[in-house]
Structure 1
């Protein structure tokens, strides 16, 4: 049964010094994935807006995750991705009662991302957790669930592998945490920064290609603006 509609507007701005080629945007919300079919080029200081829309049942209430992945290439065809994740509210706001802490991580080929989760509420919570990664990384087991009593703490650990991340670059990694209580969904999305250890010999050989590509990749993450609103 259709009810209201979720409208998502994503503006991507290239603040780098080189053009981004074959730009596509993928968004995921309310268990549905949307992808722009047009592959476009965005020159330095240029912008492009992408819009998605989805209907949802009128019974939905609470906060929900919105994930946005931008894929693009440099002039040599080297692929990059930029990831961001946020939350939006349908009808009912509220504190999830969860606190999460994590430490930045530096890896070369693989590593372990950890999140310390605290249930600050006065009752137990069954939490679904999902690790969200840019295309440059992978994880064999990105999803799990835990039950936390009131005041309980637990550390979640995820093994990640470097597939194509640039040496010396920094990438945000997100952990979507959700639970349902009395028909209302609560979501928080903390993140941790993963740095790829530098390889000096590799950097010297490819410094111009690396510098141009990294500026574009960083700009896409920092300056991408994501908005969501609910309309009748």
Structure 2
């Protein structure tokens, strides 16, 4: 109960300072899913350039993208970096979408999360963070996304131990917070924004951070 109060207090402090994030950027759930793969190890500006290339080529829909030769896909997504690797990962995801849903991403929403999540994470190149981004932001499943920003913030606040793994960190939030897609969506987005602006890797700007009152004394 105490952890629930702390986490909700942190959420409310971030939201009051930053306002709604309106995540995830994307015009369609499919674009959101592809963006989640493209954003691995790069910044969002580079992802936007890659998505714009796919739009300009008229292939930002599942069947067209699946039909595109992988080398051509890699060329189009070059701005996102690691383009050969990401092209293969996107193709793996599209093959899954073809096999499981006949390219209809939204048809997956009728599945149980407990069934679908292991299937998504079994796709070669789709790790827990990317998979959960697709499940939460594209398909509205209640799964909390954690990342390096989350680990750093929670560690500095004494709420997570060093070297905690993905699922251990995720369970801190999912065990303490209500199962709420909108809350999970906004909470992760706010953590990323705080991490980028205040809770930086080398030196946190703690004094001006909206979460400063929650630091251990």
Regarding TM over 0.5, the answer is no
Instruction: Specify the structure having the higher radius of gyration (Cα).
Output: 1
Interval containing the TM-score (normalised by the shorter chain) = under 0.3
Q: TM-score, normalised by structure 1?
A: 0.24
Greater strand share, structure number: 1
